[in-house]
Amino acid sequence: MEAGVGLALQSRAAGFGSDRRRSALYGGEGRARIGSLRVAEPAVAKAAVWARGSKPVAPLRAKKSSGGHETLHNSVDEALLLKRKSEEVLFYLNGRCIYLVGMMGSGKSTVGKIMSEVLGYSFFDSDKLVEQAVGMPSVAQIFKVHSEAFFRDNESSVLRDLSSMKRLVVATGGGAVIRPVNWKYMKKGLSVWLDVPLDALARRIAKVGTASRPLLDQPSGDPYTMAFSKLSMLAEQRGDAYANADVRVSLEEIASKQGHDDVSKLTPTDIAIESFHKIENFVIEHTVDNPVGDSQADSHAQRIQTL
């Protein structure tokens, strides 16, 4: 049984409900607002926080980072490229939402927040919306007190409600892809599969712990090994479900384009840029009547080049 997610979203949209609920709906994480979009921090500066390597480095306004000029240059270049790509994509998206899908720990929330900020879209994490709809503080607790099926019903309701909105980036839960009805909702926008090798996922999850991810939570054992074996099982069960996404962003491919094979060197900004690139190609390839018009697209491309 679902907990009236649709009604909850509507009543909150009309200004009812608790502040906690309202801030989660309109700000995702308390930043942007639907209706009057607001980006709290300049996206370029924010993006520059993630420079090469897996750790955040100092923002631009700070003194030189330990990586020196080269690191600073890399982060500035990345941030500018991200900005430029987002401007191109914004045009092609025409208000459509972006749904990020992928296994647990694939970076949907991390990359999704960067994409939403630079686009000026609102960000939502569907797990958080389910928690609010049900009135429980964590997905883990929902699984424990109710069941996975109860969680999945509410997840579908949240996706249904989001699908009627515009200009959102949504980080879906890793298992949202298994229900065909969820694809009906996500296909109202553009879906992006963050395809991350299992060993990298297991490393990330072992680092942050499994308490918030009930399907991986194990009372004992080496965290990396346990996460790896559970993730492998889930990946097998889910088969090709992720491949329903409109575009696939493979971290292995990005790493190989950059001339190495270490996906742990990729920053979330690298991944956001590649996601924009793939979305743009997808829209161009799938625009049957070319409603944008070639000349309009050309002049847009020229404008972008001069930025």
Would you tell me which residues interact with ligand S3P (CB under 6 A)?
A: 104, 108, 127, 139, 173-175, 213-215
Minimum CB–partner distance for residue 134 and ligand S3P (Å): 13
Would you count residue 171 as binding ligand ADP (CB under 6 A)?
yes
Provide φ and ψ at 243, rounded to 5°: -70, -5
- List binders of ligand ADP among 111-170 (CB under 6 A): none
Residue 132 contact among ligand S3P, ligand ADP, none, beta carbon within 5 to 8 Å by kind: none
Q: Check residue 206 for interaction with ligand ADP (CB under 6 A).
A: no
The letter for the amino acid at 61 is R
Identify whether the C-beta of residue 121 lies closer than 8 Å to the C-beta of residue 32: yes
Q: Among candidates 215, 196, 214, which has minimal Cα distance to 204?
A: 196
User: Do residues 172 and 125 lie in contact, with contact meaning Cβ atoms separated by under 8 Å?
Assistant: no
Closer by beta carbon to ligand S3P, 57 or else 189: 189
Nearer to ligand ADP, 92 or 143 (CB): 143
Residue 208 binds ligand ADP (CB under 6 A): yes
Of residues 236-295, those binding ligand ADP (CB under 6 A): 266-268, 271
Q: How many Cβ atoms sit within 10 Å of the Cβ of residue 107?
A: 23
Closer to ligand ADP at the Cβ: 12 or 204? 204
Using the minimum distance from each CB to ligand ADP, give the nearer residue, 9 or 100: 100
Nearer to ligand S3P, 237 or 256 (CB): 237
What the block records as the tokens of 127 is: 């797990």
Q: Is 106 in the site for ligand ADP (CB under 6 A)?
A: yes
- 103 three-class SS: coil
Q: Which of 74, 86, 109, 122 binds ligand ADP (CB under 6 A)?
A: 109
Report H helices in the chain. 5-13, 19-27, 43-48, 68-93, 108-119, 126-134, 139-145, 148-162, 180-186, 198-208, 223-238, 251-257, 268-286, 294-305
C-beta of 273: minimal distance to ligand ADP in Å? 12
Stretch that binds ligand ADP, among 4-12, 99-107, 131-139, 182-190 (CB under 6 A): 99-107
Pick the stretch among 22-30, 57-65, 72-80, 107-115 that binds ligand ADP (CB under 6 A): 107-115
- 137-140, long-range: CB < 8 A, 24+ apart: 138/212, 139/173, 139/212, 139/213, 139/214, 140/211, 140/212, 140/213, 140/214, 140/217
* Footprint of ligand ADP on 41-80 (CB under 6 A): 54
Using CA atoms, how far apart are residues 306 and 104, in angstroms rounded to an integer?
Answer: 39
Out of 74, 75, 86, 110, which residue is the one contacting ligand ADP (CB under 6 A)? 110
Q: Which is nearer to ligand S3P, 167 or 213 (CB)?
A: 213
Alpha-carbon distance of 225 to 206, in angstroms, equals: 9
Residues that bind ligand ADP (CB under 6 A): 54, 102, 104-110, 171, 204, 208, 266-268, 271
